[in-house]
Structure 1
Amino acid sequence: MPGISGTGAVTRSTLRQQIADALRDEVLGGRLQPGQEFTVKEIAEQYGVSATPVREALVDLSAQGLLEAVQHRGFRVHEYSLDDYREMLQARALVIDGMFQALDAGHEAFRDPGDPRTAATLAVVRRRGEEAQRAAGAGELTVLIGYDLRFWRELSALFGNPYLGDFLHRLRLQSWVCAVQYLRRLPDLRGVLWAGHTGLVDALGARDTVAARAVVAAYNAHSLGLLERLAAA
């Protein structure tokens, strides 16, 4: 696969990360389908590298919930159901609502929205949201997923709790893995995908958690409704 280097200049940990990133892109891009099985040897041969970093990368992706180990057979892409997606939305809502409660309580990251550091960080997150919205409007799902994951990662970092950010990132990654198997059924995704990222940033910048909660609720309702319609069709 492109972008993987097995030369001596690349450490094993770097190679492990490269393989994990590339495989994650294959899953999110729909090229590795839910339930599809493969072995460490097959992936190592495809990448032209040794088995050790491949095995480590596959274990990492299993820990993230993208893959699952199959005893004596290798790994397969995890299959998520709509019920799984509903539960992911519930878990995401709890985490995000906790973030908003911290904002209501005067979390230091948002103590002064006029503070140059806070304003600068929000501006970066907003630009990420603008890119996500452009990708959504153009129906570019793979591009949208990349920007969306970075948007939420950077937004959650404002609250200063790396564990919260990591947990939310994992949930969002699993949500996208579940969603792409349905979204890829549509030949044209223009105007179909949610694109309210900047509205959420603006609400948080104004410390308006009521509006922020409304944006997130609308997002969850839109995405779940869309997947339910696609599943039924």
Structure 2
Amino acid sequence: MPVSDGLAVTRSTLRQQIADALRDEILGGRLAPGQEFTVKEIAEGYGVSATPVREALVDLTAQGLLDSAQHRGFRVHEYSLGDYRSMIEARSLVADGIFRGLSENPPDDPRTPAALAGVRRRGEEAARAAGAGDLNVLIGYDLRFWRELSALFGNPYLSDFFHRLRVQSWMCAVPHLRRAGDLRGRLWSGHCELVDALVARDAHAAHAIVAAYNEDALVLIESLAKG
């Protein structure tokens, strides 16, 4: 039994590692929307067996990042601007609920003050990457920032859902941003400002910060999509 348990952990870890690596390939623009590939191609590329690759691809399909292409393997999902608008609306509603919850926590709630300091550090790194126009670094820290922030709400189902929305939003935006050239000064860098509002337990200020961010992001992506 201990041996099989160990193998299960190793297999599960490999499955997650492959899923994470493929997600990074998509967000990095190295796997483009609509691009097709097979389990065999990915397994050979990573030098692993087909089983964890197939499991990872099924996981990414369930997360909305891939489509199963019958008899051809898998295809990177293609999102539209309409999808992006809907994602913005959905993540705004979830974020507002998180902000209200955090602002209503008792002042001595151990989940908030010290934990927000850790979230701020992610925000500082994200803001630096945004200022430098470094999209790859920004995406990584931005996803960690929002994942850790949403985890403070204490509902893992909501946190997982919100994380998927954030990943899908980036996936939709990345192809347009990659064609934009110099991104310095064009990417949101208000992470620390948002943390300050939450430390002050000001859900209204947090909402205003994120509402402005979402509006700017939507305008930017729509303008880039129009060329």
TM-score after normalising by structure 2: 0.93
8 Å contact kept, 2:102–2:112: no
Cα deviation digits, residues 55-82 of structure 1 (max 9, x gap): 0010011111111101111000000011
Deviation at 1:101, TM superposition (A): 2.9
Deviation at 1:102, TM superposition (A): 2.3
Q: Which amino acid aligns with 2:184?
A: R
Aligned to 1:223: 217
Measure the CA separation in 2 of the matches of 1:232 and 1:197. Answer: 28
SS of the residue corresponding to residue 112 of structure 2 reads helix
Cα deviation digits, residues 161-188 of structure 1 (max 9, x gap): 1111111000000000000010000221
Aligned to 2:21: 22
Aligned to 1:194: 188
Unaligned runs of 5+ in 2: 1-6
Aligned to 1:77: 76
Deviation at 1:29, TM superposition (A): 0.3
SS of the residue corresponding to residue 11 of structure 1 reads helix
Unaligned runs of 5+ in 1: 1-7
SS of the residue corresponding to residue 189 of structure 1 reads coil
The number of equivalent residue pairs is 221
Aligned to 2:48: 49
Matches within 5 A, 1:204-215: 204-215=198-209
SS of the residue corresponding to residue 76 of structure 1 reads strand
SS of the residue corresponding to residue 193 of structure 1 reads coil
Q: Which of 151, 155, 172 does residue 157 from structure 1 map onto?
A: 151
Q: Which of 164, 168, 185 does residue 179 from structure 2 map onto?
A: 185
Q: Indicate yes or no: 2:132 matched with 1:138.
A: yes
SS of the residue corresponding to residue 89 of structure 1 reads helix
Measure the CA separation in 2 of the matches of 1:12 and 1:185. Answer: 37
Aligned to 1:174: 168
8 Å contact kept, 2:39–2:53: yes
- Structure 1 segments (4+ residues) deviating >6 Å: none
Inter-CA distance 227–117: structure 2 relative to 1 (3 Å threshold): closer
Measure the CA separation in 1 of the matches of 2:40 and 2:64. Answer: 21
Aligned to 1:90: 89
Cα RMSD (Å) of the superposition? 1.6
8 Å contact kept, 2:87–2:169: yes
Aligned to 1:128: 122
Deviation at 1:220, TM superposition (A): 0.2
SS of the residue corresponding to residue 75 of structure 2 reads strand
Measure the CA separation in 1 of the matches of 2:125 and 2:45. Answer: 32
Cα deviation digits, residues 138-172 of structure 1 (max 9, x gap): 11101100100000011111111111111100000
Aligned to 1:32: 31
Aligned to 1:5: none
TM-score after normalising by structure 1: 0.91
Identity percentage of aligned residues: 75
